[in-house]
Chains A and B, each alone.
Chain A
Amino acid sequence: MQDDKAPITRQKFIEELLRYRKGSVTRRHFLGVTGLGTAMAVMGGGLPLLSPRRAFAQGIGDQVVLATWPNYHDPANFDAFAAETGAAVQVNVFGSNEEMLAKLQAGGSGWDVFVPTNYTITTYVEADLIEPLDLSKLPNYDAASFEARFADAGTVDGKLYAVPKNWGTTGMAWDSSKAKAPFTSWKEFFDVTRTDFSGRTMVHDYQLTTIGNALKYFGYSFNSVDPAELADAEKLLIEIKPHLFAISSDYQPAMRNGDAWLTMCWTGEGKQMNRDIPEILFAVGKDGGEIWSDYYAIPKNAPHRDAAYALINYLIDPAVNAREAAAHGFPVADARVNALLPPEVLSDPILYPAAELLNAQEFGAAVTLTDPNRAEVMARFKSA
């Protein structure tokens, strides 16, 4: 009865979200396609009877707005948070860090919590779009339980701005029933695209990874902004463009129905496809590529700051975070969470590549995101 006023019932919403998560509808860039890329989902819509007196005792307000990536949370956790605190979580789903940055730069985003990737945080700090975190409001955060490389980027000039959420790699996923040999490098990725896989390969609609991996073909740094090296990458990309199935970060549907045989792919999504279709394999390039870490952060002027802290603190609680990880499949940097995960998850070669492979990967750099030349190379590639 109390749900009658909600725009969409919680049950229905969760079903929808589960469909998302199974990948039958979408992926990272899912609604980059809708223009502003904001598939907006309203969680709960208030739970008048369920919200207990405690909510009012805490006084954090009745809602909190989270800007995040698709397939990246367990909706049941949001329900539990709402039931516990009275604050309904409103989720805005984004397609790229550029889009998030554009939205915050434009002002008035209305977000309380967002999920930036490592290389964006210094840019947010420089642009004064993000506020330092008050650790006294995040008792569940334990700096000691994080591997430094996954937590470093959250601190800028000695101040903590963001706490780690998940990490992962950007590798390649392919249909092994079509491939003569497993893919092991970006060199092979582009070479096979020109030959056996012509018309079957997808690259991201995202300059950071598409240009970065093309740079790896030549053995350059994933983060290169050297004009001569970028020119080589551009030449390669334009040369293989006629052989591409698509330039899109929404690769799961095409991979799943067999239109595409090879794609650049984020770890967790590689796992999702592999789980449903075992012939789809995933690997990171032995010649390098991207390793990344996502963080929780609070933008300047967050309308519900108390609720923002409460939500982050709730989501980084090891037990809650373990449920998150079980739902979305991305690796967690927090040792306390890993202690709660089943051992077969921690030994999964897709999620946790061998150390020497992992060490070959590079974290994206701030300049990689903001360099105007890379943006232009991508634009010329797309319009070629």
Chain B
Amino acid sequence: MAMSRQGARYLLLGPAGLWYAALLVLPLAVVLVYSFGERAAAGGYAPAFTLAQYANLGSRWTAFQNTLVLAPAGTLAALLIAYPLAYYLAVRVDPKWRTVLLVLVIVPFWTSILIRSYAWIYLLGGRGIPQLLADLGLGDWRLINTPFAVLVGIIYGYLPLMVFPIYVSLEKLDKRLLEAASDLGAPPWRRFVQVTLPLSLPGVATGSMLVFILLMGEYLIPQMLGGGKVFFVGNALVDLFLQSRNWAFGSAMAVTLVATMLVVVTVYMRFLKRIGAARDDVGLM
């Protein structure tokens, strides 16, 4: 029996394990080794053992700064927009419309993000929304190629990833708890703050993580809607590999990005746990 259980474990973990070993662990190891190397004379990688690449990270500080500001800001904005929508879909909407509305949330994914970003270039460009605002006498607006445009693109692109986890956690919510709160005299806002919101936190956490992690590596949206002026770590990486071909420095930056992400995600998870624990304490009182 022990054997068969063992066998089952290998069978279950084997495919994913091989996949991760070959396509995640191994490449990461290569990146780590490269990060201690040097740029070859005409670009590329030359073996070495130096910390020079890490010492040079300061020269890309702005990229880290932009990423570390816009990724959380984008996550927060997406959360603030997604939560009411998810709440409406899970709690308020007439069930006969629910499926249709849920499908509508996914529909944008049927078109490539590249194409949709191109559409935003025209919407935010001089002949798009700014033209409309000017015609309405609302002044001269420049929207495209600004951090605002990048934020719009980010929220637009990642909103569905935020909506769904929150929707799922709200949909599972046990309505009897709300009735109980009501019976105990809690007004609606209090029912929301003390029952609904805490119980939907796992969805919020999942959605935020999904969006945040993807945003940390974002490249396309700042490139297209930021006009090359809003520079993320992802853009710095692409330039290092495809333009200046400094693979060693690029690897050091990639390693740093992964490390930064691990730290931020760990801190965030701790923070959520503490909130959860605090809620439980309040509950007990």
* Residues of A in contact with B (beta carbons under 8 Å apart): 32-37, 96, 98-99, 101-102, 105, 123, 126-127, 199, 205-207, 241, 244-248, 253-254, 257-259, 370, 372, 375-376, 378-380, 382-384
Contacts and interface: CB of A to CB of B under 8 A. Distances in A.
A246 B127 contact: no
* Prevailing SS type, chain A contact patch: helix
A248 B228 contact: yes
B145 A245 contact: yes
Interface residues of B, number: 39
**Which among B62, B125, B242 has the greatest number of chain A C-beta atoms within 10 A?**
B242
A249 to B, nearest CB: 9
Contacts of A33: 114, 220, 223-224
Interface in B193-240: 219-220, 223-224, 227-229, 231, 235-236, 238-240
Interface stretch (B12-20, B40-48, B72-80, B159-167): B40-48
Contacts of A382: 228-229, 231, 235, 239
Nearest to A206: B243
Contact of B59 (A37, A199, A246, A380): A380
A378 B228 CA distance: 12
Contact of B145 (A105, A123, A246, A258): A246
Contact of B220 (A35, A126, A244, A375): A35
A259 B144 contact: yes
A379 B239 contact: yes
Given A248-B227, A259-B126, A372-B246, A379 B236 contact: yes
Given A33-B220, A248-B227, A382-B231, A199 B142 contact: yes
B99 interface: no
A47 B242 CA distance: 35
The 4 A-B pairs of least Cβ separation, nearest first, read: A246-B227, A375-B244, A247-B228, A383-B62
A99 B44 contact: no
Contacts of A126: 42
Contacts of A380: 59
Contacts of B223: 32-33
B114 A370 contact: no
A372 B142 contact: no
Given A205-B228, A246-B228, A370-B43, A258 B243 contact: no
A383 B231 contact: yes
A379 B228 contact: no
A383 B235 CA distance: 9
Nearest to A257: B127
B42 A383 contact: no
A247 B243 CA distance: 14
A327 to B, nearest CB: 24
A164 B255 CA distance: 42
A199 B122 CA distance: 17
A87 B244 CA distance: 35
Given A34-B114, A247-B227, A127 B244 contact: no
Given A241-B229, A380-B59, A258 B142 contact: no
20 contacts: A33-B220, A35-B220, A98-B243, A99-B242, A101-B245, A105-B43, A123-B42, A127-B42, A206-B243, A246-B145, A257-B126, A259-B126, A370-B42, A372-B246, A375-B243, A375-B245, A382-B228, A382-B229, A383-B60, A383-B231
Interface string B242-272: 1111100000000000000000000000000
A270 B280 CA distance: 67
Contacts of B60: 379, 383
Interface in B49-93: 59-63, 66
Contacts of B241: 102
A384 B121 CA distance: 23
Contacts of A102: 43, 241-242, 245
Contacts of A384: 62
A14 B138 CA distance: 43
B229 A379 contact: no
A376 B243 CA distance: 10
Nearest to A241: B229
Interface string B111-133: 00010000001100111000000
A280 B62 CA distance: 35
A254 B228 CA distance: 13
Given A379-B239, A382-B235, A383-B231, 5 more contacts: A96-B243, A102-B241, A105-B44, A246-B227, A370-B42
B144 to A, nearest CB: 6
Contacts of A207: 243-244
Given A253-B121, A383-B63, A372 B229 contact: no
**Which among B235, B241, B244 has the greatest number of chain A C-beta atoms within 10 A?**
B244
